[in-house]
Amino acid sequence: MNGVSRPDPRGRARAAAPPSAGLSIAGAVDLAAVKARSEAQSRAKAAPAGDAPAGGGAFTFDVTEQTFQADVIDRSMQVPVVVDLWATWCEPCKQLSPVLERLAEAAGGAWVLAKVDIDANPRIRQAFGVQSVPTVVAVVAGQPVDGFSGALPEPDVRKWISGLLDALRDRMPGIREAEQRQGGEAEPEEEPDDPRFVAAEEAVEEGDWAAAEAAYSAILAAEPANEQAAAALGQVRFLARAEQADPGAIARADAAPDDVDAQLAAADAEVAADAVEAAFARLVATVGRSAGSDRDKAREHLVGLFELFPTDDPRVSAARRSLARALF
């Protein structure tokens, strides 16, 4: 069954794209206008990635209008500089800033955090066009490239930073150098495995389909919208059927095209043998020549097989179109 993946024991979905919280600023302002970019590039040689600016921490530092050129523009030639624009009166800032500081230290210099008090530095606020705080902007090679506004939850901030580094790693050697100093490329910290999914996966590994089905069903009973559990449950139910699949079912179904149950068993056998397109075609044909409850049974079985595969699998897409034609 090369095409059917087993459930993910961690119960995690694929990483989502980095959030931008509605703030699109790439190219909106020209920070290099503070000074000529050529001068900034020459200064960058004197401020290599990972060195702390005077009076600041290792990878987090306060920035003023007087230090903006060296601490933001120059350093952004080597690694991304994440600018945290905040104010003393801003309560959400007090939630977000510690998160950014903690992540900056954990990154070990792959990116640095520049904190700007907008009330004390109105020209910087004006340069970024800040309308509310907190506002966070990533500056790369002297230009803002991405950002968000508001106090995002820490997982969303992690995703945003991870996406930023992934997009820039090949173009900014300072990122990779910092990651190598830490013993390899930085990886986003994984969430702990969900023990409920771990128990279910252990049952899958032991071939105890009944226990695995019960475990995933229990998750769904508590969390009806848990898509990971729903997908895993469908996979487990198929694996249980596939283990009992009889290769002779295909020949029997071919000899009795109007026997819907035989067609379902044959489709399972074909998917188990990785003859996915043949299984889909068989059930589409069954839907086309049957009616009433038989037609519903074949259609529901086919849709269940679709769910064993990624939604963008071309075999699924083609079969869905064929099913639509058979139905309508």
Chain centroid offset of residue 189 CA = 13
Per the CB < 8 A criterion, the answer to whether 219 and 226 are in contact is yes
Question: CA 149 to CA 320: how far, in whole Å?
Answer: 41
- Give the DSSP per-residue string, 273-295: TT-HHHHHHHHHHHHHH--HHHH
The tokens of 257 are what? 């095209």
Per the CB < 8 A criterion, the answer to whether 103 and 157 are in contact is yes
Per the CB < 8 A criterion, the answer to whether 192 and 184 are in contact is no
Strands (E), the chain: 60-62, 81-86, 112-117, 135-140, 143-149
- Give the DSSP per-residue string, 142-208: TEEEEEEES---HHHHHHHHHHHHHHHTTT-HHHHHHHHHTTS---PPPPPPPHHHHHHHHHHHTT-
Catalytic residues: 90, 93
Pick from 42, 47, 40: nearest CA to 69: 40
Where residue 184 falls (left for φ over 0; alpha for ψ -120 to 50; beta otherwise) is left
Per the CB < 8 A criterion, the answer to whether 115 and 63 are in contact is yes
Per the CB < 8 A criterion, the answer to whether 78 and 61 are in contact is no
